[in-house]
């Protein structure tokens, strides 16, 4: 079964063709990073306008590279939330148009669910029950998954998401936007020598990163930081020191067979290395390009939706605050 995936929830316009939920035939991503960098963050109206310009070229390129022709497709999967309403509307409208003209079934995808399914694109396949740590710009969720489509949220962030914390810390340190990759690059040049707080929130699977961000801000404000690389390394380590032990503890408690990592922050080298090193339970992490937003993960997830007969009508709406349940 060959599925065309479409992703426009935030600032990446992406399309991909994936076979049987596991094999990428083609994948295109048009990033708006440079467009938003001058504003220091994503401007929603600018994002939706750019999606309008990019979506058709991105889909055409993906279809050409898949070499299967439109008749070779079996369905369309599109992200309908969570995300920016104007951006989601571009992808869902185009998906509905293609589904109508090409007479293909359509399925709507939760962006967080798609991040989890990026792991099915790895050479090794996930085994249930599993625990997934989703760490992105808007979420830090610990999700127990007993089967396809069966999600229990064990914990989430009470304030800033991990990616949001990385982005804010990079701004505080003058490292620019997007912050996560900038801190990751800077951290390898420094040592984690600066004392920063870790909110462990014992007895829960929840996270909190706003105190850490404020602590860094105070140090910078008081002129206590004179080495940006050390500050980046210390900040990254403080985040990893919370994410890794809490994930392993939850995995042990629920006797899972595997731990998955996903979302943009899963591209972080410090986090990847530490989780693999510390976990007694097998860990799966997608390659970095499949951690950040892409449409291959949407198409992979779409395959499992079609297997479960989850098909949407053309009245499918966008849900900017969509939850994983």
> 3-class DSSP state for residue 318?
coil
Q: Which is nearer to ligand KG4, 73 or 169 (CB)?
A: 169
Helix (H) or strand (E) holding 24: strand 23-31
**Shortest spacing between CB 252 and ligand KG4, in angstroms:** 25
The binder of 258, among Zn ion, ligand KG4, none, by C-beta within 5 to 8 A per type, is none
Name the one residue in this structure whose structure tokens are 């105190």.
Answer: 211
Q: Is the dihedral of CA 17, 259, 133, 182 positive or negative?
A: negative
**Shortest spacing between CB 160 and Zn ion, in angstroms:** 16
DSSP 8-state class, residue 40: T
219 contacts 225 by C-beta, under 8 angstroms: yes
Q: How far apart are CA 296 and CA 298, in angstroms?
A: 5
Task: By CB under 6 A, tell whether 91 contacts ligand KG4.
Answer: no
Q: Which is nearer to ligand KG4, 27 or 268 (CB)?
A: 268
The binder of 166, among Zn ion, ligand KG4, none, by C-beta within 5 to 8 A per type, is ligand KG4
Query: Within 13 Å and on the Cβ side, how many CA atoms surround 177?
Result: 16
The binder of 181, among Zn ion, ligand KG4, none, by C-beta within 5 to 8 A per type, is ligand KG4
Task: By CB under 5 A, tell whether 293 contacts Zn ion.
Answer: yes
Instruction: By CB under 6 A, name the one of 6, 10, 14, 175 that touches ligand KG4.
Output: 10
**Shortest spacing between CB 294 and ligand KG4, in angstroms:** 8
Task: By CB under 6 A, tell whether 5 contacts ligand KG4.
Answer: no
- Provide the Cα torsion 41, 45, 48, 51; round to 10°: -60
Instruction: By CB under 6 A, name the one of 81, 155, 178, 286 that touches ligand KG4.
Output: 178
Q: Which is nearer to ligand KG4, 92 or 268 (CB)?
A: 268
Task: By CB under 6 A, tell whether 184 contacts ligand KG4.
Answer: yes
Q: Can the peptide bond before residue 178 be classed as cis, meaning omega within 30 degrees of 0?
A: yes
Number of residues forming the site for Zn ion (CB under 5 A): 2
Task: By CB under 6 A, tell whether 268 contacts ligand KG4.
Answer: yes
Name the strands in the sheet holding 106-110, side by side, starting at the edge strand that comes first in the sequence. Answer: 23-31, 12-19, 2-7, 75-81, 106-110
Q: Which is nearer to ligand KG4, 28 or 293 (CB)?
A: 293
257 contacts 128 by C-beta, under 8 angstroms: yes
Binding site for ligand KG4 (CB under 6 A): 10, 136-138, 163, 166-167, 178-181, 184, 263-265, 267-268, 292-293
């Amino acid at each position: 079964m060959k599925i065309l995936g479409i992703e426009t929830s935030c600032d990446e316009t992406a399309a991909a063709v994936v076979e049987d939920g596991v094999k990428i035939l083609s994948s295109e991503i048009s990033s708006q990073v440079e467009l938003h960098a001058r504003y220091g963050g994503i401007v929603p109206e600018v994002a939706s306008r750019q999606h309008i310009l990019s979506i058709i070229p991105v889909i055409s390129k993906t279809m050409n590279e898949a070499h299967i022709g439109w008749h070779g497709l079996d369905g369309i999967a599109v992200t309908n939330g969570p995300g920016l309403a104007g951006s989601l509307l571009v992808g869902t409208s185009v998906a509905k148009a293609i589904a109508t003209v090409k007479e293909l079934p359509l399925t709507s995808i939760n962006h967080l669910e798609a991040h989890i399914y990026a792991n099915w694109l790895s050479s090794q396949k996930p085994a249930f029950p599993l625990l997934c740590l989703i760490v992105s710009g808007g979420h830090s969720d610990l999700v127990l998954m007993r089967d396809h489509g069966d999600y229990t949220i064990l914990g989430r962030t009470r304030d800033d998401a991990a990616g949001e914390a990385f982005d804010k810390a990079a701004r505080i340190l003058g490292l620019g936007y997007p912050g996560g990759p900038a801190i990751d690059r800077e951290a390898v040049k420094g040592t984690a020598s600066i004392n920063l707080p870790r909110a462990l929130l014992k007895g829960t699977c929840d996270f909190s990163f706003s105190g850490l961000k404020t602590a860094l801000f105070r140090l910078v404000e008081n002129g206590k930081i004179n080495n940006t690389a050390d500050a980046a390394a210390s900040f990254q380590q403080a985040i990893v020191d919370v994410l890794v032990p809490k994930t392993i503890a939850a995995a042990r408690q629920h006797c899972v067979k595997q731990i998955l990592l996903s979302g943009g922050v899963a591209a972080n080298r410090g986090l990847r290395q530490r989780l693999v090193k510390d976990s007694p339970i097998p860990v799966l992490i997608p390659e970095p390009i499949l951690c950040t937003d892409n449409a291959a993960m949407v198409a992979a997830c779409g395959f499992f939706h079609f297997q479960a007969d989850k098909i949407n009508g053309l009245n499918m709406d966008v849900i900017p605050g969509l939850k994983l349940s």
